[in-house]
Amino acid sequence: MSGSLYPYHLEPAKVRAEFFRLLPISLFVMAFGAAYGLAAVQTGLAPLEATLMSTLVFAGASQFAALGMWGQEVALLPLIAVVFAINSRHLLMGASLYPMLRELSPARRYSILLVLSDANWAVAAQDYQSGRHNLEVILGGGIALWLSWVGGTLLGVYFGGLLQDPQSLGLDMVLGCFLLAMALGGKKSPRVLVAWCVAGATALLAYRWLPAHTHVVVGALAGGAVGFFWLEKAPS
């Protein structure tokens, strides 16, 4: 009975393959993990605290934001608000994967979402556009990204002086270029181009006029609205 309700079965061989598929981009994630580890100890976190934050939170941008608000007295509610705003895009990422996720049992569904990030979501979304249901990349690729983030944090905590400025190497552009490549590799049509343009323009306006860290969600909602009301409703 449960098999008919949840027909998707994660294949160990595919999970391993997706782990190695995302391993190259994970190496760049490690560099930013090292930058976070260095910043964390300079802010005053103990090595164990910095490592546990990366292990349990696994959210690079919000971890850096939390360090900016760290002190002897941490304002808890503003900290929660900032972290939620930065990570609210995960609500949309999870929703976009729901047509596949609903084929997994709830326990497995929420377990693999623990390692959902921008990179493995982008690959899964592109595969879905191509007609492939590939949740193995969420799990396998997510594990590769998580291990690299935690490993990078450890390197930064103990050997941070070796990589004090990853931006000087251009590493800050790697993930952005990777996500752009995933977008350009997806479905191509004038309607899709309009949706991307609406999302980008709205995000830029939101970045200029709305509270910090809300532009990603606002842009995604605008582009998603175009996709839903125009792309999906377009006559075949």
Q: Give tens-digit pLDDT for 39-95.
A: 899 888 999 999 999 999 998 888 888 888 787 677 788 788 778 877 888 888 888
Is residue 151 a part of any domain in this protein?
yes
- 209 shares its domain with 230: yes
Is residue 41 a part of any domain in this protein?
yes
Neighbours of 85 (CB within 10 A): 17
- Classify burial at 24, counting beta carbons within 10 Å of its beta carbon; exposed 0-12, middle 13-18, buried 19 or more: exposed
3-state secondary structure of 16: helix
- 115 shares its domain with 218: no
CA distance 76 to 69: 9
- 178 shares its domain with 66: yes
Is residue 44 a part of any domain in this protein?
yes
CA distance 53 to 155: 14
Q: How confident is the model at residue 155 (pLDDT cuts 50, 70, 90)?
A: very high
pLDDT score of 31: 85
Average pLDDT over residues 201-221: 79
Is residue 5 a part of any domain in this protein?
no
The phi and psi torsions of 89 (rounded to 5 degrees) equal -60, -25
Residue 117 clears pLDDT 70, i.e. is over it: yes
Average pLDDT along the chain: 82
In total, how many domains does the chain have?
A: 2
pLDDT score of 234: 47
CA distances from 142 to 26, 159, 190 (A): 9, 25, 32
pLDDT score of 137: 96
Q: What is the pTM of this model?
A: 0.76
- 113 shares its domain with 163: yes
Mark out the alpha helices in 88-173 (DSSP H runs): 89-96, 98-101, 106-112, 118-129, 136, 142-159
CA distance 124 to 122: 6
Residue 1 clears pLDDT 50, i.e. is over it: no
Is residue 139 a part of any domain in this protein?
yes
Burial 183-211 (b: 16+ CB within 10 A, else e): eeebeeeeebeebbebbeebbeebeeeee
H helix or E strand, kind and range, residue 40: helix 23-43
CA distances from 26 to 32, 52, 142 (A): 10, 19, 9
Is residue 201 a part of any domain in this protein?
yes
Q: Which domain holds residue 216?
A: 187-235
